[in-house]
């Protein structure tokens, strides 16, 4: 069992969850993967292969990250001074080809998404396997000693007052671990998204970039941008729908987001139910379950993801008129929302979008008929939609 040495403090009593996050054989380290690359033998004599030297790689890396267009890179490489450097690449196409030979990160996929109502342009979803992203983060050697594997509770002495710090110390984490098999590791998945203009000055291209990370990484490390604790796993599309009633455009957009999340997060949902073996930074194999532990969004997106109306709390049953009440309203649970949606479905066909939306409003719902979290084990919007100070 892995324990955090920092948690062993004489002024605190620490209880660790027994028989959690056991270590198994068959894992691999980051360097094991690097050395298994097709061209690893050539890198023994030239570490920068397929580039000829460090200077060759440095210039190529700068060009790839510069934001220059392929045409601009071609013009730069055609300069007589640059040609005299005898680089391993003479065109932007050759440079991109060399980059493709390097050990790769998770591959990207694309898919045309069919919609029930027409859009002004085809709806294309771009994503990479979120499970591969999580495996890459967990295996990152830079996070060695910065990942909590075993849930624990801390109590101050002598009052025995419980202290909450990392996600791994929470009661929800402890309860989720208690529902897993002996020796299993709870690997909390964190998502984050926000509608963003992804085109530069032209094109008016909007999308929801979806980032993914793991809650087991120490909070102080996870919150640093330089730590690269999150990876981009999808670009959720924001198309322009063609519908006579403009009020239905937002309903159609919300349904599309849930439909795309269904596709993107399918491997995560499967692993949350059936588990998956992953390697930690030390090369140990872990028996992992991947429930959704957190989804970092602003208030509008939180309501959309919880399938409730914009003036309704996504984590409680309170409406905007009740936000000032001096008591806590009952939680907005997944079972409650799904029951309400089922009642609406009995009265109106979801394909009748206007009629369905009118009926859904009676329950303060937003018209989404198939929330992406409906079949997700150990995950509830009232739990994973945690309030964020900057947005609330």
Q: Over 80: is that where the pLDDT of 279 sits? A: yes
Model pLDDT, residue 386: 78
pLDDT tens for each residue of 123-141: 999 999 999 999 999 999 9
pLDDT bucket at 6, cuts 50 / 70 / 90 = low
Tell me what pLDDT residue 157 has: 84
Determine which of 30-39, 154-163, 272-281 has the lowest per-residue pLDDT on average. 30-39
Phi, psi for residue 336 in degrees, rounded to 5? -65, -50
Among the listed ranges 40-49, 163-172, 270-279, which one has the minimum average pLDDT value? 40-49
In a domain, 66, yes or no: yes
Q: Is pLDDT larger for residue 147 or for residue 121?
A: 147
| Number of domains observed in the structure of the chain | 2
Does residue 356 fall inside a structural domain? yes
Domain boundary, last residue among 102, 133, 157: 102
Residue-wise pLDDT for 61-120, tens only, equals 999 999 899 999 999 999 999 999 999 999 999 999 999 888 888 999 999 999 988 888
Instruction: State the pLDDT confidence band at 142, using cuts at 50, 70 and 90.
Output: very high
User: Token pair for residue 373?
Assistant: 């979290």
Quick check: is 98 in a domain? yes
Residue 248 maps to a domain: no
* 276 band by pLDDT with thresholds 50, 70 and 90: very high
Of 78-87, 207-216, 250-259, 382-391, minimum mean pLDDT range: 382-391
The pLDDT-based confidence of 1 (bands split at 50, 70, 90) is: low
369, part of any domain: yes
What residues does 186 pair with on adjacent strands? Answer: 289
CA-based nearest residue to 193, from 332, 308, 302: 302
35 pLDDT higher than 90: no
pTM: 0.87
Phi, psi of 227 (to 5 degrees): -75, -20
Q: Which domain holds residue 377?
A: 298-391
| Phi-psi domain of 283 (left: phi exceeds 0; alpha: psi -120 through 50; beta: other) | left
pLDDT bucket at 7, cuts 50 / 70 / 90: low
Q: Which of 47, 80, 102 is a domain's end point?
A: 102
In a domain, 266, yes or no: no
In a domain, 368, yes or no: yes
Q: Return the closest-CA partner of residue 55 out of 94, 82, 91.
A: 82
| Mean pLDDT to the nearest integer, 218-239 | 92
The residue from 67, 102, 137 where one domain ends is: 102
Residue 320 located in a structural domain: yes
- Which two three-digit tokens encode residue 215? 């809650």
């Amino acid at each position: 069992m892995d324990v955090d040495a920092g948690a062993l403090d004489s002024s605190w009593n620490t209880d660790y969850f027994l028989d959690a996050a056991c270590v198994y054989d068959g894992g691999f380290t980051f360097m094991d993967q690097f050395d298994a690359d097709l061209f690893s033998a050539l890198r023994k004599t030239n570490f920068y292969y397929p580039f000829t030297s460090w200077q060759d790689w440095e210039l190529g890396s700068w060009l790839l990250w510069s934001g220059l267009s392929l045409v601009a890179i071609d013009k730069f490489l055609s300069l007589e001074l640059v040609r005299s450097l005898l680089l391993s690449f003479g065109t932007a196409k050759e440079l991109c080809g060399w980059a493709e030979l390097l050990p790769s990160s998770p591959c990207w996929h694309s898919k045309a998404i069919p919609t029930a109502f027409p859009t002004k342009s085809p709806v294309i979803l771009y994503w990479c396997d979120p499970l591969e992203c999580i495996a890459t983060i967990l295996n990152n050697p830079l996070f060695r000693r910065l990942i909590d594997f075993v849930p624990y509770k801390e109590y101050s002495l002598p009052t025995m007052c419980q202290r909450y710090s990392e996600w791994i110390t929470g009661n929800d984490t402890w309860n989720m671990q208690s529902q897993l098999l002996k020796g299993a590791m709870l690997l909390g998945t964190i998502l984050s998204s926000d509608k963003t203009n992804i085109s530069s000055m032209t094109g008016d291209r909007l999308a929801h970039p979806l980032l993914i990370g793991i809650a087991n990484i120490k909070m102080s490390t996870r919150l640093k941008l330089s730590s690269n604790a999150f990876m981009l796993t999808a670009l959720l599309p924001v198309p322009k729908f063609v519908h006579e009633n403009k009020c239905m455009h937002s309903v159609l957009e919300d349904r599309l987001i849930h439909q795309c999340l269904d596709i993107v997060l399918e491997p995560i949902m499967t692993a949350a139910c059936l588990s998956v073996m992953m390697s930690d930074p030390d090369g140990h194999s872990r028996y992992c379950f991947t429930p959704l532990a957190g989804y970092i969004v602003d208030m509008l997106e939180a309501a959309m993801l919880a399938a409730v109306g914009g003036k309704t709390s996504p984590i409680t049953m309170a409406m905007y008129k009740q936000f000032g009440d001096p008591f806590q309203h009952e939680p907005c649970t997944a079972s409650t929302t799904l029951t309400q949606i089922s009642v609406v479905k009995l009265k109106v066909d979801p394909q009748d979008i206007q009629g369905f939306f009118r009926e859904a409003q009676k329950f303060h719902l937003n018209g989404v008929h198939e929330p992406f979290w409906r079949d997700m084990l150990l995950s509830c919007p009232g739990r994973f939609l945690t309030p964020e100070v900057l947005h609330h």
